[in-house]
Structure 1
């Protein structure tokens, strides 16, 4: 019995507590109480926790080098990401990240920069770059890539946004976040052809050396007024367990067992 318990604990630690967590945020403000928004105070509580617990924020390059070449990363590495490039990332999130000496990566919708009031300007982006924030691609107009009406449209969304960002930022854009997290093999093929090194989904999970570079997992951290620090802590600490439970819940719903599915808690 003791052997079984020890082996079980070893198996769980090997399979459920390994890999690098990639946090996924969108808006950080106290006005928009929607599913993509986290309050400034809640975001600060989370960043304070990461700093206190000794997490080291890394870049997509460091993550990809670890996954692809098994290059060493700090013991408690974490990649912090934001999708879309909202102005509140500059107003609210950026000062908090600086306060706790954490870096982050923001995936930009290239056509929205300097165009809409809710989104970042190039001046803000350049200032954040100087402060250690990295910027990568999120297509031209946030088109769900699996819904592109033609291969030409799919190619434009991937290539033209990449070219625009490279021209504005003066660096190579190598990473993509799929809009709304949707992708398929056809999208992956075009993403590779456009010159991206890797791409991120919103699939719940950590990334390990067995992960596929063009379908990298993240840990979505949003939920409007229902989100609490405990939700964040549970998702961060037990990511793989809740990923398995989420898959089980989806299976139960698919097989016509909604009452059983409702019993499964996903933070």
Structure 2
């Protein structure tokens, strides 16, 4: 009888530990707001930053079917900073650089599924290169509800620039967007995701309310507003939807694995690092 009670106790403890571990995983890895990060959407360029129209639509269709609600950077930061309520199942969709295919390909798909997105624009490229948006296209999308925020004047590496150049890149691009759009621009995406403490301070001084990196992760109430995470979505290969789904659903798990892999590589353990799968 004693042995039987001990066996029941051990099983109960195992179940308790399992449930506690499961609760920890749910609370640790599945909370936070996902911010997706795209670049080009077209069928011509086959590189890591480009998704085809069918790949992009499959992902947006999935978000639609799963009941996600698109939010703006302002809504995200209001939630993080002040605890303002967000709509059910919120997600922020962002596209970097301001490619013309964002208007030609991505925009109709987003409209089809009643989504909006935020495009971080390289202002000196607008209307000057065929590959990039025009101000008329930006105006049309802005009227629909698409957000346009800053990606600097010319997409230089900010940490490698002088104070004078950083200020120019941050201030003049912000002023250009505000003049063209007729509204405040308060959010920045660091070019190439590169930043340091000097860049962060100058971003604050230039009047930005928050800034986005390409650091892999979700954003929570304790997130630092000038190093906000995103979930980079890559193309140019096979199984793009699977990679998208894994990154969206298990963001923090793969973020932890990515950090561990980086640690192993830094320590020179390339064999162990090669065993870690990052979608």
State whether TM-score is above 0.5: yes
Task: Please give the alpha-carbon distance, in whole angstroms, between the structure 2 residues aligned to 1:8 and 1:96.
Answer: 40
**Aligned equivalent of 1:141:** 154
Instruction: Specify which of 62, 69, 74 is matched with residue 61 of structure 1.
Output: 74
TM-score, scaled relative to structure 1: 0.98
**Aligned equivalent of 2:5:** none
Report how many residues are paired. 266
- Compute the displacement of 1:35 (Å): 1.2
| Contact residue 109 and residue 140 of structure 1 kept, 8 A | yes
- Compute the displacement of 1:256 (Å): 1.1
CA deviations over 1:220-245 (Å, ceiling 9, x no partner) = 00131245100000000000000000
| Contact residue 234 and residue 240 of structure 2 kept, 8 A | no
TM-score, scaled relative to structure 2: 0.94
Q: Helix, strand or coil: the match of 1:200?
A: strand
Higher CA-based Rg: 2
1:43 aligns with 2:65: no
Q: Helix, strand or coil: the match of 1:106?
A: strand
1:172 aligns with 2:184: yes
Q: Helix, strand or coil: the match of 1:225?
A: coil
**Long gaps (5+) in structure 1:** none
Task: Please give the alpha-carbon distance, in whole angstroms, between the structure 2 residues aligned to 1:83 and 1:61.
Answer: 17
1:25 aligns with 2:38: yes
Instruction: Specify which of 73, 76, 96 is matched with residue 86 of structure 2.
Output: 73
User: Which is further off, 126-135 or 189-198?
Assistant: 126-135
| Contact residue 138 and residue 177 of structure 1 kept, 8 A | yes
CA deviations over 1:104-156 (Å, ceiling 9, x no partner) = 000000100011110000100011111111100000000111111x1100100
Task: Please give the alpha-carbon distance, in whole angstroms, between the structure 2 residues aligned to 1:218 and 1:144.
Answer: 19
| Superposed CA RMSD | 0.7
